[in-house]
Amino acid sequence: MKYTQEINKRKTFAIISHPDAGKTTLTEKFLLFGGAIQTAGAVKSNKIKKHATSDFMEIERQRGISVATSVMTFEYKNHLVNLLDTPGHRDFAEDTYRTLTAVDSVVLVIDSVNGVEEQTRRLMGVISMRKTPVMVFINKLDRDGKNRFDLLEEIEKELSIQLHPMTWPINSGKDFKGVYDLEKESLVLFTPGSKAEDVLEISDLADARLNKKIGEKDAAVLAEDVELLRGVYGNLPVEDYLKGDVAPVFFGSAVNNFGVKEMLDTFIRIAPTPRPRETTSKIVAPDDEKFSGFIFKIHANLDPKHRDRIAFLRVCSGKFERNTYYHHVRLNKDVRFSNPYSFLARQKDVIEEAFPGDVVGLFDTGNFKIGDTLTEGDNFYFTGIPSFSPEIFKEVINKDPMKTKQLEKGLIQLTDEGVAQLFTQFGGTKKIIGCVGELQFEVIQYRLLQEYGASVQLNSLPFYKACWLTSNNDKKLLDFSRFKQANIGEDKDGNMIYLAQSEWFLNTEITNNPDIQFHFTSEIHK
């Protein structure tokens, strides 16, 4: 119970969405409220568009998308908020999935025009499995979108989650006039282009001021909607939200910084503080006195000038301290860190200590892989940090033999980050990169050239899926690997994999080889 006060101050969450739903914009509004930045990246100045604070890789700035999870820390209302902005693009879903293992809650952004989209469904599937508490922000109310009741019904049906409206919009598009805060019984009026919110406290919706502010017709519709919502939903069951069964819903326009504060205030009030986590030997509580944490992300060359490599550590229990030796469980050795960082996107600040819920950047010389656990002497691993079976495969062809060493180093470091996997074909030196999306190859090719000076060609291979192989019968596994030599390889850790040409081939081999287990995910530390 030593660090209870520090633990209760912390809220660690991720913002997720389908691409272009407004996730990065919402991130910046949170940072504005927290005083962490003074200008939003979307603001145009001297005809030069300032890039979003959380997009720090050169290719992200060129393409206008987030491809790496950013970590940002800010203070708001006496709380320390650790915000993880995730890639929206489906090709980088694996990075997002792993980031979800490092947070205690999630804010899901949905575009009011497009409703529930493919990537939203995939992400919510992961969140539902983990029973992570979710808040929903329905964005772009300043555009003509779907009917608000239809949208709630669609979200509940498509994402299998029970919603609970906390604010309610008055129209949308050019007729959007604001939102009514159902809990505070106040009207927040919308003025396009204005940075200040006009808040009107109205406990009685028959109040004449309401007609004056939004017109009789809209006032009548709002009163009717609110009566219906109160009858159906009542007060928010906070315990059900914390269990991941009910999601509070807010409406607004992130680009106009409208409706965001209402959600942020509620988030600070009810979102969970750091939670207990499962390990291979026990459940670790945040207030356990001994330090423990795990690596959920690695990023090479965060600062291209210094060729640095940063491992992102989620603190799970105890207190992390600078210049203190901790036990690296996989390597079975003690390591210490003289310059641990906290982050505001690209800005790094050296810290002396960190507590459960915090994300710390550790300078890494190649000791870490995703899923690694640090402890104060205990030998356990945090579980549930998966590596997924890739779906697209390409052979790496070196275009400059003089840069072979740089290519080897680049492939190892970039695939250590977890956005792609590196395989070597059995009995040869053919290097194969496996990814879940096409865009990842473009990023890897670009970064190999820009950061390591290695020029490569990536040739497509006709494989459907990679599976990790295990068996209690070593002879059967050896016979299988000999018989299927053209389809056998190993990952970076020497684990055997089977590269299936098609779903039919894969199912046939699974049926014909009952003594061999085909795994579609790999617990990385094994």
Q: Which CATH number covers residue 134?
A: 3.40.50.300
pLDDT at 492: 82
Residue 360 is assigned to a structural domain of this protein: yes
Same domain assignment for residues 260 and 297: no
Instruction: Please indicate, yes or no, if residue 381 is contained in any of the structural domains.
Output: no
284 domain residue, yes or no: yes
Contact (CB, 8 A) for 294 and 317:
no
- Asked if 251 and 167 touch (Cβ cutoff 8 Å), the reply is yes
In three-state secondary structure terms, 146 is coil
Longest dimension (CA), the chain: 84
Q: Are residues 370 and 403 in the same domain?
A: no
Q: Mind listing the pLDDT tens digit for each residue in 342-360?
A: 765 445 678 899 999 999 9
As a whole number of Å, the CA-based R_g of the chain is 25
So what's the pLDDT on residue 137?
A: 96
pLDDT at 213 over 50: yes
Asked if residue 413 is part of any domain, the answer here is: yes
By mean pLDDT, which of 151-160, 224-233, 317-326, 412-421 is the weakest? 412-421
Q: Distance (Å, rounded) from C-alpha 458 to C-alpha 25? A: 34
pLDDT at position 62 over 60: no
61-75, 217-231, 301-315, 332-346: which range is least confident on average?
61-75
The overall average pLDDT reported for the chain is 83
Same domain, 354 and 430: no
Same domain, 46 and 186: yes
Q: Within this chain, do residues 250 and 116 fall inside the same structural domain, yes or no?
A: yes
Query: What digits encode the pLDDT tens for the residues 143-188?
Result: 998 899 999 999 999 999 999 999 999 988 888 888 999 998 888 8
Residues 258 and 290 in one domain: no
Is residue 380 a part of any domain in this protein?
no
Mean pLDDT lowest for which of 36-45, 67-76, 276-285?
36-45
- Whether residue 513 is contained in a domain is answered as yes
Residue 367 domain boundaries: 277-375
Say if 461 falls within a structural domain. yes
pLDDT value at position 2?
Answer: 64
CB 424: neighbour CB atoms within 10 A?
A: 16
Q: Please tell me whether residues 283 and 263 are part of one structural domain.
A: no
* Domain identity same for 202 and 306: no
Do 461 and 366 reside in the same domain of the chain?
no
- Residues 448-494: tens digit of each pLDDT: 888 889 999 999 999 998 999 999 999 999 999 989 988 999 988 88
Q: Which of 315, 345, 375 is the last residue of a domain?
A: 375
Residue 377 φ/ψ region, left for φ over 0, alpha for ψ in the -120 to 50 degree band, beta for the rest: left
Query: How many domains is the chain partitioned into structurally?
Result: 3
Does the structure show a pLDDT above 60 at 59?
A: no
| Across 2-11, 22-31, 60-69, 323-332, least confident range | 60-69
402: how many CB neighbours lie within 10 A of its CB?
9
Domain termination residue (choose one: 352, 375, 398)? 375
- 69 pLDDT more than 70: no
- Residue 31 reports pLDDT greater than 90: no
pLDDT (0 to 100) of residue 256: 86
Tell me, yes or no, whether 210 and 321 share the same domain. Answer: no
Residue closest to 500 by CA, chosen among 514, 511, 484: 484
Tell whether 87 is covered by a domain: no
**CATH classification at residue 472:** 3.30.70.3280
Is residue 28 pLDDT above 70, yes or no? yes
What sign does the CA torsion over 148, 152, 154, 155 have? positive
- Among 270, 299, 327, the domain boundary falls at 270
Contacts of 514 (CB under 8 A, 6+ apart): none
Domain check: are 18 and 131 in the same one? yes
Q: Report which of 90, 85, 120, 125 is spatially closest to residue 102, judged by C-alpha positions.
A: 85
- Report the distance separating Cα 42 and Cα 53, nearest Å: 9
What pLDDT shows up at residue 526? Answer: 44
d(CA 335, CA 312): 15
Q: For 84-113, how does the pLDDT look when each residue is reduced to its tens digit (9 = 90+)?
A: 877 655 545 566 777 888 999 999 999 998
Same-domain status, 59 and 154 = yes
Long-range own/partner contacts, residues 325-329 (CB < 8 A, 24 or more apart): 326/291, 326/374, 326/375, 326/376, 327/374, 327/375, 327/376, 327/377, 327/378, 327/379, 328/367, 328/372, 328/374, 329/372, 329/373, 329/374, 329/375, 329/378, 329/379, 329/380, 329/381, 329/525
- Rounded (10°) CA dihedral 100, 103, 105, 108: -40
pLDDT at residue 283 above 90? yes
Taking the CA atoms of 80, 195, 198 and 205 in sequence, report the sign of the dihedral they define. negative
Percent of the chain predicted with pLDDT > 90 = 44
pLDDT of residue 40: 53
Strands 79-85 and 10-17 turn out to be parallel
